[in-house]
Amino acid sequence: MLIEIPAVLTEAEAAEALAALRAAPWVDGRVTAGHQSAQVKDNLQIEEGTDLHRRLGDLVLSGLGRSALFLSAVLPLRVFPPLFNRYDAGMTFGAHVDNAIRQIRGTPHRIRTDVSCTLFLTPPGEYEGGELVIQDTYGEHRVKLPAGHAVAYPATSLHRVEPVTRGSRISSFFWIQSMVRDDMRRRLLFDLDMAISAAAADLAPGHEAPVALTGVYHNLLRQWAEVS
């Protein structure tokens, strides 16, 4: 399931993060790439473990925690500490699939990458090119969102970043290990959750249908969830 998640960060938060990142030192983006990805990756990243990386990562995580849509669609168990990248004119990232397992730097912990997420920080009018292109069974989806908005999609997807032709594209990117690893099951639970919300809004208070549907939701989640 590919889903846009609006306003993970407010306009002010996104602008503050962007200003700090524009003034920061950058390193070669291939430091976090696997063997195959490194051959098609040409971008810059903020070095992991710096004060700026931790501070802005916490800002992103706080925004995700406020987003009911993110929580419903992704059902996060663990979130990889957000990273930050930059594409200047001519930079690109060719077609690739993200690594299945990611080691959290400086810790013994690993996460399974069920869902990939990109949070856009540069307003789209300030650069040309740089679209995130995600392939699935329905074809290609080209994504270029307002600052503070994010897109989440299965980490199994083949995807790429088109070359930037003007300006710079700065974003945060990270991965999520979901409580429900199967994308189809996550989609069914999300659709059911949205239907429950709609029914609760349309029906009279105390109507039995939303309660019954909520029971179905939680019983499915109980069957499918992994929480360790």
| H/E segment holding residue 107 | none
Q: Are the CB atoms for 17 and 56 separated by under 8 Å? A: yes
One domain, residues 17 and 97: yes
Which of 160, 178, 196 is a domain's end point? Answer: 178
Whole-number percent of the chain with pLDDT over 90: 88
CA dist., res. 63 & res. 67, Å (int): 7
| H/E segment holding residue 42 | strand 41-42
How close are the terminal C-alpha atoms of the chain, in Å?
Answer: 23
The mean pLDDT of the chain is 95
- Residue (of 123, 164, 167) closest to 145 by Cα position: 123
Supply 201's token pair. 């809004």
Q: Lowest mean pLDDT of 38-42, 150-154, 176-180, 197-201, name the range.
A: 38-42
Placement of tokens 């099951």 in the chain: 185
CA dist., res. 74 & res. 2, Å (int): 10
* Domain extent for 202: 183-224
One domain, residues 154 and 187: no
pLDDT tens by residue, 174-205: 999 999 999 999 999 999 999 999 999 998 88
pLDDT tens by residue, 67-93: 999 999 999 999 999 999 999 999 999
